[in-house]
Chains A and B, each alone.
Chain A
Amino acid sequence: MGALLAVLGGLVLHPLHTTLTQLTYREADGTVEATVRVFADDFRAALKGKVTDSAAVIYLRSTFALADSSGRPLVPTWCGIRRTGDLLWLCLRAPAAHGLSGLRVRVGLLFDRYADQINIVQATYGGRRTALLFTSGDAPKPLP
């Protein structure tokens, strides 16, 4: 009984471990813009230090991936970071000459920190919105 209490008592109240990535197509320059919303304390913990542009870019390089419909990686460029309240908004852009349909996406932020991490992707293109959901171990998924 004591062991059971110790195990249960060691568990903490349960926060929601989620990020939200919005993908939008910019017709003007034929690029896809990704805005990643992540809680600042989670992101700081993932970077294991201060949140700077260079640290964020290095982390995103290993956790965020875009590829075209044939699987060819799209190399994103960094377009900045801003903070509102306890949320960070990270911005990336990549060339997407053929639009978002068929684009392959993987968002693996914070999977190394939380077993229950869920990353949501919303994409807006062609007059519709669609969503993808990523949990730990998920492979890249195509936008319909």
Chain B
Amino acid sequence: MSELATYITLGFRHITDLEAMDHILFLFALAAIYRIRDWRDSLWVVTAFTAGHSVTLALAVTGALVLPTRLIEFLIPVTIVATCVENLVVHDRRRALWGGRYRPVFAGVFGLVHGAGFANYLRSLFVDQIALPLFGFNVGIELGQLVVLAIAAAVLAAVDWTFTLATTRGGQGALRLRVMAVSAVVACVALRWAVERSPF
């Protein structure tokens, strides 16, 4: 296996591991408002998230940015809660700020926080040879996120179908119920993490 493929595999496996529930839930929260036909929008958001964490990761592992681990571990679940709150608060995205097209921006900003979470590990382990591991790890993370996104789309479509059957509310009604249910569950989990990891 080439070195690059090794680090791509490392990033991919890290993000798709079932124990990586913080990343997976964040992606679910981001994807919760989209339907399968909105795949371009969700792809933009996830790619912006990857771009964000790539920037922080690069800055942090090269030592240009030093961030306290405890603060980052607290902020990661806070970003998940914030995403869920945004999902719950914004009902009509066409009337929201920039016609609702601000989501890639905040996904990118939250990506900055998540990237810092990986940085300490990578900086320690690959202290003398960071460029290739960093690049490969990020490519693997992006590929893994696309897989998680595809699974999230299928799960969310199944939730829609269940709500449609259970409530006879199709279309927008089922979508809204889904957004509320998924966001509420994810927010509760992330809130618990945030409280447990509060540095204050």
What residues of chain A have their CB less than 8 Å away from a CB belonging to chain B?
1, 4-5, 8-9, 11-16, 18-20, 37, 39, 84-87, 115-116, 118, 120, 122, 129-133, 135
Contacts and interface: CB of A to CB of B under 8 A. Distances in A.
B25 interface: yes
B193 to A, nearest CB: 6
Given A85-B124, A118-B13, 7 more contacts: A11-B21, A14-B23, A16-B121, A37-B125, A87-B127, A131-B2, A133-B9
Interface residues of B, number: 33
Contact of B124 (A87, A122, A130): A87
In the A-B complex, the 8 residue pairs with the closest CB atoms: A131-B6, A16-B121, A11-B21, A14-B20, A8-B189, A131-B3, A9-B192, A116-B17
A11 B23 CA distance: 12
A115 B20 CA distance: 12
B142 interface: no
Given A13-B193, A16-B121, A18-B10, A129 B3 contact: yes
Interface in B120-146: 121-122, 124-127
Interface of B: 1-3, 5-6, 9-10, 13-14, 17, 19-23, 25, 73, 76-77, 117-118, 121-122, 124-127, 185, 188-189, 192-193, 197
Contact of B185 (A5, A19, A39, A85): A5
B118 A16 contact: yes
9 contacts: A5-B185, A11-B22, A14-B14, A20-B126, A37-B125, A115-B19, A120-B6, A132-B1, A132-B6
A144 B43 CA distance: 38
Contacts of B73: 13
A99 B14 CA distance: 33
A13 B195 CA distance: 13
A89 B126 CA distance: 12
A7 B112 CA distance: 28
Given A9-B192, A120-B10, A16 B122 contact: yes
A116 B19 contact: yes
Contacts of A16: 14, 118, 121-122
Contacts of B10: 18, 118, 120, 133
A118 B1 CA distance: 14
Contacts of A86: 124
B177 to A, nearest CB: 14
A9 B196 CA distance: 10
A4 B182 CA distance: 12
A84 B1 contact: no
A4 B185 contact: yes
A15 B121 contact: yes
